[in-house]
Amino acid sequence: MIGKKILETDPIPFCQAKELLKERSQFQELSYEQNLALDHVTKFSKISVENAQKMISELEEIIKTNQAIKMADVMPEDLADMRLMFAKERGVHKKEDLEKILEIVNKYRKE
């Protein structure tokens, strides 16, 4: 990748990465890494881009943006899954906050 430089490094949810890679594949052939990434996000994206954006904006009131995006990608099913996701993070989240996050995630899981 000589001559390429990183322009920005904002995290995006799987569903949005899937849309970007599909769009790019229409105009040019994807590299090996891009094909692997497209295959991965196709298998593991669980909600639509619109729902992911809504969910992330709701979750940002409680947790950081990076954490909200990870919640949209993984869609944890219970408090134990959420505790595993926050295991490496500094600080402690209250049980009420975790339950509120799980309620928001479940709301978008049904749609």
Q: Which domain holds residue 25?
A: 14-44
Contact present, 19 and 50 (Cβ < 8 Å): no
Q: What is the pTM of this model?
A: 0.83
Question: Has residue 4 been placed in a domain?
Answer: no
Mean pLDDT, rounded, for 30-53: 91
Measured CA to CA, the distance from residue 10 to residue 69 in angstroms comes to: 11
Do 23 and 37 lie in one domain? The reply is yes
CA distance 26 to 50: 22
Q: Give per-residue pLDDT as tens, 46-96.
A: 899 999 999 999 999 998 899 999 999 999 999 888 888 888 877 777 889
Residues 73 and 103 in one domain: yes
Domain for residue 83, yes or no? yes
DSSP the chain: -TT----------HHHHHHHHHHHHHHSPPPHHHHHHHHHHHHH--S-HHHHHHHHHHHTTTS-HHHHHHHHHH---SHHHHHHHTTTSSS---HHHHHHHHHHHHHHHH-
pLDDT at position 54: 94
Q: How many CA atoms lie within 13 A of 104 on its CB side?
A: 24
On whether residue 7 sits in a domain, the answer given is no
CATH of the domain at 94: 1.10.150.80
